[in-house]
A and B are shown apart, each in its own frame.
Chain A
Amino acid sequence: MNENEFELAARAYLEDGPTRMSDYAVSSTLEEIHATRQRRAVRRAWWSDRMTSYAKLTAAAAAVLVVAVVGYAVPGGPGPTKPTPTAPPFGPAGNGIIAFEQLGDILVADRPGGDTRPLVAGPEFDSEPVFSPDGTRLAFGRATDAESVLMVADADGTNVVQVTTGERFLYWSFAPDGRSVVGITWIDGDPRIIVRPIDPAAPPTVLDIDLRLGGQELYELGGPRFRPTNAQEILIKAQPDPDGPPGIYVYDLATGDIRKIVEPAGCSNDTKWAPGCYVHDVAWSPTGESITYNLGSVPRIVAADGSGDRASDDLRDWISPSSNDGTRFVVDLDIFPVGELDTHPGDDSYLREAVVRIDGIGEPVELACGLGMQVECASSWIWSPDDSMLIGTVPHQGSSTYLQADPATGQVTELDWAGDGTPTWQRVALAALSSPGDGSLPVGPYVVGGRLHGEDRVTVTVPAAGWFAPDKGWFQPDKGSVTKDLGGDDVTVAIVPGDYYTMPPNICNWQGDDADPAGEKYWPSTADELVAYLTEQTYDTPDGSAPRDLSAPEDITVGGSHGQRISYTYPDSDASACDEQRFCILQDRDGWGCLLSHQGPGSLDTLWVVDPPENRNYLLVVAASGSPSPALRDEVDTLVNSMTFYNE
């Protein structure tokens, strides 16, 4: 049956049936209406900029009162202790509890298929739970007769507050710190972006940008999104110039500045739907360092500062979010496109799903589900915070079935849960919670956040007190790094991410198409090659190009693999005229971003480059930068030499 035939059959099926409500039912309805009193309209004046201080105070007091009543009426449930330290807003993290809805209550379990217990239970109908990125709060919808309201509780089910009051609030999402939500509401008939603090006593912020959208256009806006790395920047699509085309902007909540990211060239309000002008499906990359969007049907990617806008063929139709380390996602394989079903009679493998890498490396890992298998495939999947598992949702009449899948092997099992809708998995800190108390890492083993290229874990042995894992970074949640600061005597040891590295011939003029007119960019595949090419890189001086000062490389062994260590000094030249005002040592394989650059004058930088274990295609590059004393340098050596990488 082709698509047209299916459409006709579906329409005929839907048209088939009774077409009139009985007279008795209509009369009964009118009687009940007669017995029902209309609700009085309430002016929500606290949104208005023109409100008086007195009115604001009254509204705030009323909001506090509402919170108190709601908080008293809604029982909390047993749950885990609030996680400390909190999980990073992106990247892999530890696995907390899993929440899902069952018959209007929110249940949680400690692990997939584990015993469930109520977290938010009561006479209200609650649904669609979502944990905040930092794992500290849980938002969910509460159904009233006419509208749904957004509720937020602490992750243990306590302190339930009502965030919205029944007005339309669409396309919302959490801030990374879980303290606010951003979404679209309507003020005086116009759609506006609004940031609502979870604290109902705190006033909301209406973004001072005119969306100038309405009708069909509004639905293509998608949701405004906080940057994964901070709660200050919001990604939006808007049309500030009524004659210009819609574009992509980043709004700074602290300053009110609007940073232009993309405005399609040569486009106007009249041509905004043309393929070369139509911007849609705008989103942050998992790390917040870039923004993905579609221009017409072409997927594109641009850096968070608006630079490097380019087409990308790495973006496909996902049925899951990306893994937390940003390397994998689940797709429909569409082995037999719908129109070809008739040519494969008896083949019931028509529904197939697989885990694939975003960079296309390696074969897809097919999931053992689908027609003909023991379990159905899921309509959606979520990743465990540590990326080791997937939970899938198979919707059925009145309830959902849940599956657990291993993204490495494709094994799928059905869980002994009964619920409704997509579950949400709490993210908690990856590092052990038994920290010294000052936030520093305990002496001993530490699993660095993230995986090397989605495959291997990296562990180090923290050699002494005073080492910290930063709470933000570009690739791994702790930047794949640890740092020690003794007030002027500091060092940061970081794993430099990159699928494959390219190295610019000239570390000053390294960006763009004119950086390598002779095609001399180098692609090292071993530690020895990378270190050798370091000696060939040059920088610009008044007398012409010159190589940097490098120490003699030393052979090392890390994690059982051969490597080299080399130190280098800051070039004796002014970087202000260089691309991005810095000297770039390593770039990613596409050569448009800089993964590792020279630090400032006076910084002693050391590089460890290690060959991978067998059957891996990456290089492990570790960089230490700072101004360490000899003693601290010894600690760094101990730490790096303790590094191991392995596949779980």
Chain B
Amino acid sequence: MNPALVEAARSGDEEAFASIVRGSSDRLFVVAHRILRDVGRAEDAVQQALVTAWRELPTLRETERFDAWLHRILVHACYAEAKRASKWSANVVVLPIDGPATPDTTQDIVTRDALDRGFRRLPTEQRAAFVLHHYLGWSVAEIAENLGVPSETIKSRLRYATSTLRAAIDADSRTTRTTSVERLA
């Protein structure tokens, strides 16, 4: 993130912040979508996060932390969006709009479906930790500091997210193997 843009925006330059929005919205949207698994909610969360960042930017004293700070606001917006959704809507499975870039093998499809089922069972906090770690490549320490929670909490969230997803894959692979055996019999 261009520090000069952040400084200017912090001083009230709306055009500078608009540049920040155009340059970061896709990146933020991807993170929000991977957490919420819903395009509409992800766009709502990103919009809320950017509006909040604009409003609160003068209170940010360390401009070099802008990116981490913005991601924290985004994650909080995802939490809020998830809670709003859980109050008002039933479980609706949303299929991804874009398919994979390369053709899938049957096993890839099975694994991805299993991951998707497992991922949707995760609470939002675990999803966020998983996305920040495995998609953005943040370390446990970075996630902990940027979200303002203890590193032990992040470790615990990652551990259980991983366990749940692996269990989902494992359960599916046993079903697949069983089915294959039955077909052969």
**Knowing A16-B100, A146-B73 touch, does A219 contact B160 (C-beta < 8 A)?**
no
Query: Which B residues lie within 8 Å of A361 (CB)?
Result: none
Query: How many Å lie between the Cα of A20 and that of B166 in the bound state?
Result: 29
With both chains docked as a complex, state the minimum distance between the C-beta of B183 and any C-beta of chain A, in angstroms: 17
Query: Which B residues lie within 8 Å of A10 (CB)?
Result: 115, 130, 134, 165
- Which residues of B136-185 are within 8 A (CB) of A? 139, 141-142, 144-145, 148, 150-151, 156, 159-160, 162-163, 165-167, 169-171, 173-174, 177
Check if B148 sits within 8 Å of A148, measured CB to CB.
Answer: yes
With both chains docked as a complex, state the minimum distance between the C-beta of A56 and any C-beta of chain B, in angstroms: 21
Check if B121 sits within 8 Å of A397, measured CB to CB.
Answer: yes
With both chains docked as a complex, state the minimum distance between the C-beta of B106 and any C-beta of chain A, in angstroms: 14
Interface 1/0 per residue, B57-82 and A, CB below 8 Å: 11101100000000001001000101
Count how many chain B residues have C-beta atoms less than 8 Å from C-beta atoms of the other chain: 81
Chain B contact residues: helix, strand, loop or mixed: helix
**Knowing A14-B34, A29-B46, A103-B83 touch, does A338 contact B122 (C-beta < 8 A)?**
no
Query: Which A residues lie within 8 Å of B47 (CB)?
Result: 25, 28-29, 32
A170 within 8 A of B: yes
Check if A14 sits within 8 Å of B135, measured CB to CB.
Answer: yes
Query: Which A residues lie within 8 Å of B26 (CB)?
Result: 19-21
Check if B21 sits within 8 Å of A30, measured CB to CB.
Answer: yes
A543 within 8 A of B: no
Query: How many Å lie between the Cα of A17 and that of B112 in the bound state?
Result: 12
A499 within 8 A of B: no
Query: Which B residues lie within 8 Å of A186 (CB)?
Result: 61-62
Query: Which A residues lie within 8 Å of B166 (CB)?
Result: 1, 6, 338, 341
Check if A220 sits within 8 Å of B141, measured CB to CB.
Answer: yes
Check if A33 sits within 8 Å of B14, measured CB to CB.
Answer: yes
Query: How many Å lie between the Cα of A13 and that of B104 in the bound state?
Result: 12
Interchain CB contact (< 8 A) of A21 among B29, B82, B126 = B29
Query: Which A residues lie within 8 Å of B120 (CB)?
Result: 397
Check if A350 sits within 8 Å of B167, measured CB to CB.
Answer: yes
Check if B151 sits within 8 Å of A219, measured CB to CB.
Answer: yes
With both chains docked as a complex, state the minimum distance between the C-beta of B79 and any C-beta of chain A, in angstroms: 8
Check if B174 sits within 8 Å of A398, measured CB to CB.
Answer: no
With both chains docked as a complex, state the minimum distance between the C-beta of A41 and any C-beta of chain B, in angstroms: 4
Query: Which A residues lie within 8 Å of B17 (CB)?
Result: 33
Interface 1/0 per residue, A283-314 and B, CB below 8 Å: 00000000000000000000000000000000
Query: Which B residues lie within 8 Å of A316 (CB)?
Result: none
A379 within 8 A of B: yes
Interchain CB contact (< 8 A) of A18 among B83, B97, B112, B121 = B97
With both chains docked as a complex, state the minimum distance between the C-beta of B107 and any C-beta of chain A, in angstroms: 10
Check if B51 sits within 8 Å of A398, measured CB to CB.
Answer: no
Query: How many Å lie between the Cα of A216 and that of B123 in the bound state?
Result: 28
With both chains docked as a complex, state the minimum distance between the C-beta of A102 and any C-beta of chain B, in angstroms: 11
Query: Which A residues lie within 8 Å of B134 (CB)?
Result: 7, 10-11, 14
Check if B22 sits within 8 Å of A26, measured CB to CB.
Answer: yes
Check if B55 sits within 8 Å of A38, measured CB to CB.
Answer: yes
Query: Which A residues lie within 8 Å of B22 (CB)?
Result: 26
Check if B55 sits within 8 Å of A29, measured CB to CB.
Answer: no
- Which residues of B24-45 are within 8 A (CB) of A? 25-26, 28-30, 33-34, 39, 43
B128 within 8 A of A: no
A40 within 8 A of B: yes
- Which residues of A210-235 are within 8 A (CB) of B? 216, 218-220, 222-223
**Knowing A25-B47, A171-B150 touch, does A38 contact B141 (C-beta < 8 A)?**
no
Q: Which residue of A lies closest to B69 (CB)?
A: A146
Query: How many Å lie between the Cα of A400 and that of B116 in the bound state?
Result: 20
Interface 1/0 per residue, A336-375 and B, CB below 8 Å: 0010010001101011000000000000000000010000
With both chains docked as a complex, state the minimum distance between the C-beta of B56 and any C-beta of chain A, in angstroms: 4
Interchain CB contact (< 8 A) of B177 among A1, A26, A145, A345 = A345
Check if A19 sits within 8 Å of B30, measured CB to CB.
Answer: yes
Check if A398 sits within 8 Å of B59, measured CB to CB.
Answer: no
With both chains docked as a complex, state the minimum distance between the C-beta of A488 and any C-beta of chain B, in angstroms: 50
Check if B55 sits within 8 Å of A36, measured CB to CB.
Answer: yes
Check if A21 sits within 8 Å of B25, measured CB to CB.
Answer: yes
Check if A395 sits within 8 Å of B112, measured CB to CB.
Answer: no
Query: How many Å lie between the Cα of A434 and that of B65 in the bound state?
Result: 55
Query: Which B residues lie within 8 Å of A348 (CB)?
Result: 171
Q: How many A-B residue pairs have CB under 8 A?
A: 191
With both chains docked as a complex, state the minimum distance between the C-beta of A636 and any C-beta of chain B, in angstroms: 46
Q: Which residue of B lies closest to A351 (CB)?
A: B163
Interchain CB contact (< 8 A) of B125 among A168, A219, A350, A395 = A395
Query: Which A residues lie within 8 Å of B39 (CB)?
Result: 18
Q: Which of B12, B56, B98 has the most CB of A within 10 A?
A: B56
Check if A398 sits within 8 Å of B123, measured CB to CB.
Answer: yes
Check if A14 sits within 8 Å of B131, measured CB to CB.
Answer: yes
Query: Which B residues lie within 8 Å of A12 (CB)?
Result: 100, 108, 112
Check if A17 sits within 8 Å of B30, measured CB to CB.
Answer: yes
With both chains docked as a complex, state the minimum distance between the C-beta of B85 and any C-beta of chain A, in angstroms: 8
A42 within 8 A of B: yes
Check if A371 sits within 8 Å of B167, measured CB to CB.
Answer: yes
**Knowing A11-B134, A20-B26, A346-B174 touch, does A166 contact B144 (C-beta < 8 A)?**
no
Check if B151 sits within 8 Å of A38, measured CB to CB.
Answer: no
A50 within 8 A of B: no
Query: How many Å lie between the Cα of A396 and that of B52 in the bound state?
Result: 28
**Knowing A29-B46, A34-B14, A218-B145 touch, does A13 contact B112 (C-beta < 8 A)?**
yes
Check if B51 sits within 8 Å of A29, measured CB to CB.
Answer: yes
B86 within 8 A of A: yes
Query: How many Å lie between the Cα of A9 and that of B112 in the bound state?
Result: 7
Query: How many Å lie between the Cα of A15 and that of B28 in the bound state?
Result: 14
Across the A-B interface, the 10 shortest Cβ-Cβ residue pairs: A219-B141, A398-B86, A21-B29, A146-B56, A25-B43, A14-B135, A41-B58, A395-B123, A29-B47, A13-B115
CB within 8 Å of A: which residues of B? 12, 14, 17-18, 21-22, 25-26, 28-30, 33-34, 39, 43, 46-47, 50-59, 61-62, 73, 76, 80, 82-83, 86-87, 91, 96-100, 108, 111-112, 115-116, 119-126, 130-131, 134-135, 139, 141-142, 144-145, 148, 150-151, 156, 159-160, 162-163, 165-167, 169-171, 173-174, 177
CB within 8 Å of B: which residues of A? 1, 6-7, 9-22, 25-26, 28-30, 32-34, 36-42, 103-104, 125, 143, 145-148, 166, 168, 170-171, 186, 189, 216, 218-220, 222-223, 319, 338, 341, 345-346, 348, 350-351, 371, 379-380, 395-400, 420
28 contacts between A and B (CB under 8 A): A6-B166, A12-B112, A13-B112, A14-B135, A15-B135, A17-B34, A18-B29, A18-B33, A21-B26, A25-B25, A25-B46, A33-B18, A37-B55, A38-B58, A40-B58, A41-B59, A103-B87, A145-B52, A186-B62, A189-B61, A216-B141, A218-B145, A338-B166, A341-B170, A351-B163, A395-B125, A397-B121, A397-B124
New contact pairs (17) apart from A33-B21, A168-B148, CB-CB < 8 Å:
A9-B112, A13-B116, A14-B34, A16-B96, A16-B112, A17-B98, A21-B43, A25-B43, A29-B46, A33-B51, A143-B80, A146-B73, A171-B150, A319-B156, A345-B174, A379-B160, A397-B86
